[in-house]
């Protein structure tokens, strides 16, 4: 069965370029019809991945990403000419899985889509026992983490990072290893995206009372102490 991709883009030329090229390589593409009902269209589409611009009519892409996150942890890729560091950081903080600058190369975009879909929908292979370190438990079947009586659902990137760090608890995990686990053979991800994801994960853990769980080893990587 083909993966479904929902595209929210107001530039018709870009929208058709994406639709035509993604359909050629086997994806089912659903395009936005009503820019005031993006969340409803997303829910109706049952999409496996969302591509969304930042600058849109009525409400911007950040607003809609937040609304989609209320419904699902489906991967979201931002596609925008507003590619300064602030916009990229905001996008990642809103729960985006990636950010691609316009103008873009179609082969780079499709490589990113393949990598994200591969790492997202292979999680069923990870089902099994929870991982527990220092009273923090990570559930492998639903990507939630629990500390005491508090629990939260993680994004795909947050889950992957925490899983690697907890599996190697007591040892320093290099940035290179985390990058490889996160993005596999996708060579186009910028390294600062990892830093953004680590910082966001720390804030999420702090929100349930788990402080200073991930330590930085300058020049080496990150560690979860046993």
Each domain of the chain, given as residue ranges in start order, spans 4-120, 126-223
Give the up-direction half-sphere exposure of residue 208: CA atoms within 13 A in the CB hemisphere: 19
Which range in 24-28, 84-88, 121-125, 176-180 is most confidently predicted, on average pLDDT?
Answer: 24-28
pLDDT tens column, 176-197:
888 877 765 444 456 677 888 8
Pairing of strands 150-153, 144-147: antiparallel
**Confidence tier at 125 by pLDDT (50, 70, 90):** very low
- Residues 6 or more apart in contact with residue 183 via CB below 8 angstroms: 115, 119, 189
0.85 exceeded by pTM = no
CATH of region 126-223, choose from 1.10.10.10, 1.20.120.430, 3.40.50.970, 1.20.1630.10: 1.10.10.10
pLDDT recorded at residue 96: 84
Task: Kindly state the tokens that stand for 17.
Answer: 């370029």
Mean pLDDT, the chain, as a whole number?
86
Query: Is 208 within 8 Å of 147 (Cβ atoms)?
Result: yes
Report the C-alpha gap between 41 and 38 in whole angstroms: 5
- Calpha distance 35→25 (Å, rounded): 27
pLDDT for 58: 93
| pLDDT of residue 222 exceeding 90 | yes
- Residues contacting 121, CB < 8 A, separation 6+: 3, 48
CA distance 220 to 213: 17
Q: What is the pLDDT at residue 115?
A: 84
Could you tell me if 222 and 178 are in contact, meaning their C-beta atoms sit under 8 angstroms apart? Answer: yes
Residues 113-127, mean pLDDT to the nearest whole number:
70
Residues facing residue 10 across a β-bridge: none
Q: Which DSSP state fits 210?
A: -
With CA atoms as reference, report the closest residue to 76 among 195, 90, 226. Answer: 90
- What CA–CA distance (Å, rounded) separates 99 from 79? 6
Of 80, 73, 78, 83, give the one whose Cα is nearest residue 119.
73
d(CA 54, CA 58): 11
User: Residue range 55-81: average pLDDT?
Assistant: 90
pLDDT of residue 186: 47
> What is the CATH architecture assignment of 4-120?
3-Layer(aba) Sandwich (3.40)
Q: Is the pLDDT assigned to residue 22 strictly greater than 60?
A: yes
- The pLDDT of residue 44: 93
């Amino acid at each position: 069965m083909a993966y479904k991709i929902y595209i929210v883009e107001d530039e018709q030329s870009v929208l058709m370029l994406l639709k035509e090229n993604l359909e050629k390589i086997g994806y089912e593409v659903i395009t936005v019809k009503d820019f005031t009902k993006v969340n409803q269209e997303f829910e109706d589409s049952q999409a496996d991945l969302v591509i969304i611009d930042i600058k849109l009519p009525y409400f911007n892409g950040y607003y809609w990403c937040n609304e989609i996150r209320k419904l699902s942890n489906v991967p979201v890729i931002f596609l925008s000419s507003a590619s300064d560091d602030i916009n990229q950081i905001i996008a990642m903080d809103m729960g985006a899985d990636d950010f691609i600058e316009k103008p873009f190369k179609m082969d780079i975009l499709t490589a990113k889509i393949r990598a994200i879909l591969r790492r997202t929908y292979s999680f069923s292979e990870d089902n099994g026992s929870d991982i527990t370190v220092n009273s923090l438990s990570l559930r492998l079947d639903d990507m939630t983490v629990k500390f005491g009586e508090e629990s939260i659902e993680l994004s795909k990137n947050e889950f992957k990072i925490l899983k690697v760090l907890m599996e190697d608890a007591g040892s320093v995990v290099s940035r290179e290893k985390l990058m490889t686990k996160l993005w596999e053979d996708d060579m186009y991800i910028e390294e600062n995206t990892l830093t953004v994801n680590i910082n966001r994960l720390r804030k999420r853990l702090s929100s349930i009372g788990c402080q200073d769980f991930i330590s930085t080893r300058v020049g080496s990587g990150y560690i979860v102490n046993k």
